[in-house]
Structure 1
Amino acid sequence: MLRDAATLLALALCILTYRTTLVAAISTTSVAPISNERAGWVITTDSAMPGNEATLVLDNNEGTFWHSAWFPDAPLPHWLNIDMGTQYLISGFSYTPRQDEETNGNIGMHSIEYSVDGNNWATAAQGTWANDNTAKLVNFQETLCRYVRLTATSEAGNRGPWSSAADIAISYDASYIAPAPQTRGQWGLTVNFPLVPVAVGLVYDTGEVLAWSSWNPSGFGGSPGGQTVTATYNPSTSLVSKALITDTHHDMFCPGISLDFNGRMIITGGNDAPRTSIYNPPGHGWISGPDMQIARGYQSSATLSNGWVFTIGGSWSGGIFQKNGEYYDPSANTWNMLNDADVTPMLTNDAGGLYRSDNHAWLFGWKNQAVFHAGPSTAMNWYTTTGSGGVTGAGNRLDSGDAMCGMAVMYDAVAGKILTMGGSRDYENAPAVSNTYVVTIDNVGTQAQTERVADMNSKRIFANAVGLPNGQVFVVGGQDYGSVFNDDSSIMYPELYTPSSQTWTVMAPMAVPRNYHSVAILMPDASVMVGGGGLCDGCSMNHYDGQLFNPPYLFTSSGAKATRPVIDSISADNVALGGSLTVTMNSAVTTFSIVRLGSATHTVNTDQRRIPLTPSSDGGNTYSITIPSDSGVALPGYWMLFAMDAAGVPSISKTIKIF
């Protein structure tokens, strides 16, 4: 049995809740309650201290524990190998550290693997656990296996070459069948973080994901100020590293994020509402920027065509009052007020008042250092940043209404196309909507054109949207009724929007709810990292992990992994606006696109935008592509270059810098 009846009931309710949404539309397969009969399991290990044998992790007693040998010490890594005696479709793994007064052996870096025959192993999850005594529940996609192995590669507190565990449990489902990957995509590796990843940004020189929470890896309240817990995920090695940032004196929870022309992350406000912190990838270090003119939290920011960073709103932190626009000038390293960039036209009519109504603006840097504001208010606006700034109405999103905590993605910047979807009339305690609109912008100050297209299959608030290299938009997570720090009414089935047909397709279900404080970001290999949710210190809604989603374009019509085109070389990794690149491929391709590196927090990713590129060819596998000449369309900075073959299969990207 599981450790106790309460744990069994909690896990069962979680699994059953995860699978209720849209099950009838996707599968008629019945879902059996999860169980975990451990009496017949056989467990082995590489090392154990007499009196602390491996079998103690299965004895239903958290007062006992397995511990690797310490006299003499046995070097890391250490492993526990479980033979369940027969094959099961497993979906989760629980590790409980020792529960006495000691912490020696708490597992830090680790992997969880599975095998059908005990000889050939595959990885289900990998990452780093925090150094505490709380149970670590890892969910992953259903996987058929007989054997499960936990490998510890570090001790969480670096106290010695030890590993320990009070309890190990595995959850499984005997009947669930996952959808075919060729039509629904496929979920891959679970990445365990030592924090709840509430905010993320892509690092241009390594392809790593920088993630952070608050001063506390599991909560944000009672902040002592001046520090942020961060973690970095390296997709090449699957390693997760942890750091505590104190030198910028900034708790970066609930900030604005923008990537500047040099790929630096400009992180503003939040818990320490006036602060600016800058992450500088070449040295992977942090530096302090100047304080903003107005203290802000839950504001959005956007990089402009001249390199400035514009921000507006943000009454969640730093006081509740009219917070007009201002901009950061990286050259002068100063913040400057734009008193006539009036916040009033962009406010929603939220039940929470101004505290909520100026949050999470959908901002897009555009031509002539202007900003297009697409929502979440039903009213759209142009903000100008010359002189003292200004604001001009750009029309309404038809019948949208306010859509707080909805999403907006610029999926074709050349055509000025923005997809907006979801949200709610109020920040919380209100039903979500499934409304979807295509907003088309052109010259600054003109009215935006809006078209209502097919609604999403699910109503969503607190979801995330990611633009893909082929122009599709992937939407993941959220609830159909907004309730912060709550996984009720979770939408477990992502969706994929196809612009050519203006339709939505339901994707394979995920293993973990992704709601308030979740993130999603496009990776250089054209997969999507989805993670987080929670940060409510000790609550069951904290999700200390991420998972990689592989979209349908990575599979053949039979469901096998597609052979991907390969970019053999590019003529330069730096290209001027309006300039051309020569790209040599290993095989024929038909289209190219560039996608700007992204960042995400609280449903907002103002950095991501996609530009489709039409190549010319010499008749072989060498192609020429030309970058748009307008800096408001092709914002300078770092972009991922993708090539796609006739079947729509994308290459792994090459990173280029536009200047």
Structure 2
Amino acid sequence: MWKSLAAVIVASVPFVASQIDRTGWNITVDSFQTGTGNEAAKALDGNTGTIWHTQWMPTNAALPHTVTLDMKKVYNVNGLTYLPRQDGNSNGNIGQHSIQISTDGTTWTETAKGTYLDDSSLKSTPFTAIPARYVRIIAQTEAGNRGPWTSAAEIDVLAAATYTKPPTNLGIWGATIDFPIVPAAAAVLTNGKVLLWSSWKPLDFGGGGGSGKTETAIYDPASGTVSRRTVTETQHDMFCPGLSLDASGRPFVTGGNDAAKLSIYDGSNWIAGPNMKIQRGYQSSATLSDGRIFTIGGSWSGGEGNKNGEVWSPASNTWSLLPGCPVAPMLTADTRGVYRSDNHGWLFGWKSGSVFQAGPSKAMNWYTTVGTGGQKTAGLRGTDPDAMNGNAIMYDAVNGKILTVGGAPNYQDNQATGNARIVTIGAPGTTASVAAIGNMAYARAFHNSVVMPDGKVLVVGGESYPVPFSDNTATNIPELFNPATSSFTSVNPISVPRTYHSWALLLPDATIISGGGGLCGACATNHPNAQIYSPAYLFNADGTKAARPVINSVSSTNVAVGTKITVGMNRAVTSFSLVRYGSGTHSVNTDQRRIPLTPTASGLTYTVTIPTDPGVALPGSWMMFAMDSAGVPSVSKTIIVRA
């Protein structure tokens, strides 16, 4: 039984990995219950019917609890599996945890952290390969908060055949972050935490349409903690929704499994909004220059076809149909018809309440939202075909520059492309300029792309032949787009495939978190985890961490468009940028965009000006970064921009 379970895990990691023979290993623990057969060796005996359990008599041993494995020689360790007890009793299931490795048993490196789901399923934690003789699990909480216990039926370690130290000039992927859900959607909150959610089940979505609940989690990068909560108060299964961040920076979630619903997260509570006029799933939405939110498409749920535009007004908290915004001009020619052809639109709120639709159809369009709305063609995306499940990223909003990458002519079961285009937009209603640039090295669909403070774009994950819930053609080497050269560079590989139901987002410290994938029950492609990428700009040439400039003061953090902001620095910098907080699901992140800011300096005091047009500087929450002459960014300050 145990070998077959481990085989499932080995099949789910994107590199060569094998279960290490445990013969001769030593295991030490901080506590065990004597006289009951629950000694530490039970976690290595190959018998899933026996367990190691911490002491509960005559008194409970207090958390945290530690398990240390001595494998007797060094392996290229790249994963760990933990099987909770299988006897129907959940006491001792590991919750919050840290996994650490060592070559000498003295100096330890953390390779994973997070929270496991409180059930009896096999838990797997893949991570970037690293040489180790010792592996240590620190159980910080009991998953169900039933008591200060820890237990395990079996613990195994996986290894890669070879090891090459990743060079820091290609960025570094950090410790794996384990989640108690498979996060198919995520949003970065203005407090720096990451809001995550799956569906009505933590590891699956099937059969729950109309369930009225969603499994969520919050990850705190500062503390490394992961908390879980079931949301029922909005009566909304938020799987496969439209997703935006509103003018207050709040995640704004529409439709999906409960196809008419609107739920808004205010940082503490989920608030039910009014139902949309049209039921939707797989739609896209965009925040407008006046703070309203536009949505269009979405035939995956709530019936097929005629998913024309509508708009939500924060002033009245109501939805209004826009009959002048038909979905038909933006349909792809998908072989499965409108069920797929109106999905995941590439939308950008722009000037005068307009919306630019860059894809995934080869036809691009303008939508206006005044009165009953309007639509006008913006031309074709050059020779690029329909590019479903591709990406579009506004990396320079001042100049209307959008990078489009990848995608496939149909939603699934066909070859993706590595195509890349730069689309430049100007006044609403005008034909967009399209320039073909060199392709990515890898064809991708179901990937994600993140704009960085310096204007570069990280493209991560995806697969060359898109099939939902499959990692068979996963592309594990990310690429970095450089706008100065319009070219791509491959960087260090990710440890876990990120394909269907994955996402990637910029964090306020200028790192990038990439996670999710799967959400298909007991499948081998469930990835209830994430990793954080530290780009090369955070390292010196010798691999040490670069000293970062520090924003000491900001004259105002809540400003109107056109406002001058005075910024006090700890040392000299050369440039600034604003990057809008992001949210992502199903390869769509309509919120992210970057505004380069040109400073004027007086000593260590700098003045920057927010663009005057709210279609460029959309109302909402932004991260302000300062960068030195070497391109090293500061940790950001949050700026709220008002129209």
Task: State if a TM-score over 0.5 links the two structures.
Answer: yes
1:177 aligned residue: 164
Taking the TM superposition and a 5 Å limit, the aligned residue runs for 1:188-337 are: 188-204=174-190, 206-223=191-208, 225-281=211-267, 284-337=268-321
Give the alignment partner of residue 95 of structure 1, picking from 58, 71, 82: 82
Counterpart residue identity of residue 657, structure 1: I
Tell me which amino acid in the other structure corresponds to 1:125.
A
- Please give the alpha-carbon distance, in whole angstroms, between the structure 1 residues aligned to 2:360 and 2:625: 30
Which digits, 9 at most, give the CA deviation of each residue in 1:512-555, with x for residues without a partner? Answer: 11100001000011111000000111111110000001111111
Higher mean C-alpha displacement, 118-127 vs 538-547: 118-127
Q: 1:581 is matched with which residue?
A: 565
Deviation at 1:234, TM superposition (A): 0.3
Corresponding residue number in structure 2 for 1:634: 617
Deviation at 1:9, TM superposition (A): 4.4
- AA of the residue aligned to 1:601: T
Letter in 2 for 1:130: L
SS in 2 for 1:496: strand
Matched AA of 1:635: L
1:557 CA displacement: 1.8
The answer as to 2:597 corresponding to 1:613 is yes
Partner SS, residue 336 of structure 1: strand
Secondary structure class of the residue paired with 1:372: strand
SS at match of 2:174: strand
Letter matched to residue 422 of structure 2? V
Alpha-carbon offset, residue 179 of structure 1: 3.3
- 2:503 equivalent to 1:483: no
- Give secondary structure in 2 for the equivalent of 1:211: strand
Question: Do structure 1's residue 399 and structure 2's residue 383 form an aligned pair?
Answer: yes
Match of 2:511 among 508, 527, 548: 527
1:49-60 pair list within 5 angstroms: 49-50=33-34, 51-60=37-46
TM-score when normalising by structure 1:
0.95
CA distance in 2, matches of 1:571, 1:54: 58
Deviation at 1:378, TM superposition (A): 0.2
2-structure distance, mates of 1:395, 1:92: 48
Deviation at 1:308, TM superposition (A): 0.4
Q: Give the match's secondary structure for 1:478.
A: strand
Q: Are 1:648 and 2:631 matched, yes or no? A: yes
For structure 2, the residue ranges without an aligned partner over 5 or more in a row are none
2 CA distance for matches of 1:14 and 1:218?
15
| Alignment partner, residue 23 of structure 1 | none
| Matched ranges for 1:427-438 at <5 A | 427-438=411-422
User: Following the alignment from structure 1 to structure 2, what is the Cα–Cα distance between the partners of residues 53 and 581?
Assistant: 63
- Post-superposition shift, 1:195? 0.3
Tell me which of 483, 490, 496 is aligned to 1:506: 490
- Are 1:444 and 2:428 matched, yes or no? yes
Q: Match of 2:22?
A: 38
The C-alpha deviation readout for 1:319-361, integer Å capped at 9, x for no partner, is: 0021110000011000000011011000000011000000000
RMSD: 1.2
Letter in structure 2 aligned against 1:405: N
Deviation digits for residues 164-189 of structure 1 (CA, Å, limit 9, x no counterpart): 1001111122522143111x111002
CA contact (8 A) 1:573 1:657 kept: yes
Q: Equivalent of 1:590, from 570, 574, 577?
A: 574
Counterpart CA distance in 1 for 2:581 and 2:354 is: 20
Q: Secondary structure at the match of 1:79?
A: strand
Deviates more, 1:151-160 or 1:129-138: 151-160
**Displacement of 1:624 after TM fit?**
0.9
Cα distance, 1:161 vs. partner? Answer: 1.1
What's 1:160 paired with?
A: 147
- The alignment-based identity, stated in percent, is 53
CA distance in 1, matches of 2:21, 2:521: 31
Please report how far the alpha carbon of residue 12 of structure 1 lies from its aligned counterpart in structure 2 after TM superposition: 4.6
Paired with 2:41 and 2:349, the residues of 1 have a C-alpha distance of 59
**Where do 1:68-79 residues align within 5 Å?**
68-71=54-57, 72-79=59-66
SS at match of 2:394: strand
What is the aligned residue count? Answer: 638
1:144 aligns to what? 131
- Separation in 1, partners of 2:227, 2:316: 33
Name the TM-score, length of structure 2 as normaliser.
0.98
Aligned-partner residue type, residue 460 of structure 1: R
Residue identity matched to 1:229: E
Secondary structure of residue in 2 paired with 1:62: coil
Offset from partner CA, 1:72-109 (integer Å, 9 cap, x none): 21111111011222222211011100011211111111
8 A contact 1:178–1:508 mirrored in 2: no
Q: Please name the residue that 1:602 is paired with.
A: 586
Distance (whole Å) between structure 1 residues aligned to residue 244 and residue 494 of structure 2: 28
* Structure-2 residue corresponding to 1:549: 533
* Corresponding residue of 1:25: none
The 3-state SS of whatever aligns with 1:447 is coil
Deviates further, 156-165 or 351-360: 156-165
SS in 2 for 1:171: strand
**Structure 1, gaps ≥5 residues long:** 20-30
In structure 2, C-alpha distance between the alignment counterparts of 1:136 and 1:101, rounded to whole Å: 16
Alignment of 1:345-384 (within 5 A): 345-384=329-368
SS where residue 395 of structure 2 aligns? strand
